[in-house]
Amino acid sequence: MRLDRFLSKRPDFNRQQVRQLLLAGRVTIDGQTERDGLREINAFQRIELDGQALQEGHPARYLMLHKPTGVVSATHDPQHRTVLDLLPEAAREGLHIAGRLDGNTTGLLLLTNDGQWSRRLTLPGSKLPKVYQVETAEPLGAEYVATFARGIYFAFEDLVTQPAHLELLGSNSARLTLVEGRYHQVKRMFGHFRNRVTRLHRESIGPIRLDPTLQPGEYRPLSAAELACTLENPAAHCTGA
Ligand code: URA
């Protein structure tokens, strides 16, 4: 693998920061300063940043978790249980969340230690569809479908939301597909109609669907097929096979 790719897989550095770290001479291979990001490295070399080893014991990991309500999408929280608390301690190290959910939202959450992969999934430009099941306090109607498809003005960000697809399933339930992930986006979109979301559940992120055999609080590694789907063709439908 190339040194710059190896470094930008970490959650804390994007590609520009990696270039700067290299230029500043902060990275060494087997004790020798290395400024060339194109340099090929192998698993037997010791890569250090500011004298700290980076690669030992950190193979890339990709997990899907069925988030229950009542845990927060954070890696640390002084007050609340976090999604990482659902994993055994040994499995938590280095993981971060690719696309958060609110505390009372359930469903698919992806966890990884591969920063490059999670950035690819969550960058606004990726336009990866995220599918939610929604239940609301007040009845829904055709005006929601048309308004969501047109986009809604969010004053705080001063933007209009990307066209979203709403499929009405019942008087108070729907399936919503978004291609972006703004703060509390689903609740704010229904809030436009002064309609409160009473239940929110994420079914899928791009090609990855929540495994229906996972109970709330359970997790499993992504299968090789699921991972290949996100790496090669995020738009494809993907099964756990
Ligand atoms: N939109 C929300 O409002 N909440 C979530 O948890 C996810 C999307």
- DSSP output for 178-196: ESS--TTHHHHHHHTTT--
50, 85, 102, 114: which is the annotated catalytic residue?
102
Averages of pLDDT over each 10 residues, the chain, 241 residues: 88 86 90 91 76 71 95 93 92 90 98 87 87 98 98 96 98 97 96 98 95 97 85 58 44
Q: Which CATH number fits domain 3-55: 3.10.290.10, 3.30.1050.10, 1.10.10.410, 3.30.1370.60?
A: 3.10.290.10
| The residue type at 103 | G
CATH 3.10.290.10 domain residues, the chain = 3-55
Q: Which residues line ligand 1 (CB under 6 A)?
A: 101-102, 105, 184-187, 200
Residue 9 has a pLDDT of 82
- CATH 3.30.2350.10 occupies which residues in the chain? 62-232
- The reported pLDDT for the residue numbered 241 is 44
The Cα 55–Cα 77 span in angstroms is 26
- pLDDT reported for residue 237: 57
The confidence score (pLDDT) of residue 83 equals 97
Q: Which class for 66: exposed (0-12), middle (13-18), buried (19 or more C-beta within 10 A)?
A: buried
**Strand ranges (DSSP E) for the chain?**
27-29, 32-33, 47-49, 52-53, 62-67, 96-98, 106-112, 130-136, 153-154, 159-160, 165-170, 173-178, 197-205, 208-209, 219-221
Q: In a mutational test of the pocket of ligand 1, which residue from 135, 156, 187 has the highest number of ligand atoms less than 8 Å from its CB? A: 187
**CB 127: neighbour CB atoms within 10 A?**
13
* Pocket perturbation via mutation, ligand 1, pick of 71, 100, 105 by most ligand atoms within 8 A of CB: 105
Q: Which ligand 1 atom is nearest residue 202's CA?
A: 7
234 touches 206 (CB < 8 A): yes
CB atoms within 10 A of CB 123: 10
102 is catalytic: yes
The two structure tokens encoding residue 55? 């690669």
Q: Whose CA is nearest to atom 7 of ligand 1?
A: 101
- Euclidean distance between CA atoms 60 and 227, whole angstroms: 11
pLDDT confidence of residue 90: 78
Nearest atom of ligand 1 to the alpha carbon of 189:
3
Global confidence as pTM = 0.76
| pLDDT score, position 167 | 98
Quick one: which of 105, 99, 103, 102 has its CA closest to 122?
A: 99
Domain covering 62-232 assigned CATH 3.30.2350.10 in the classification: yes
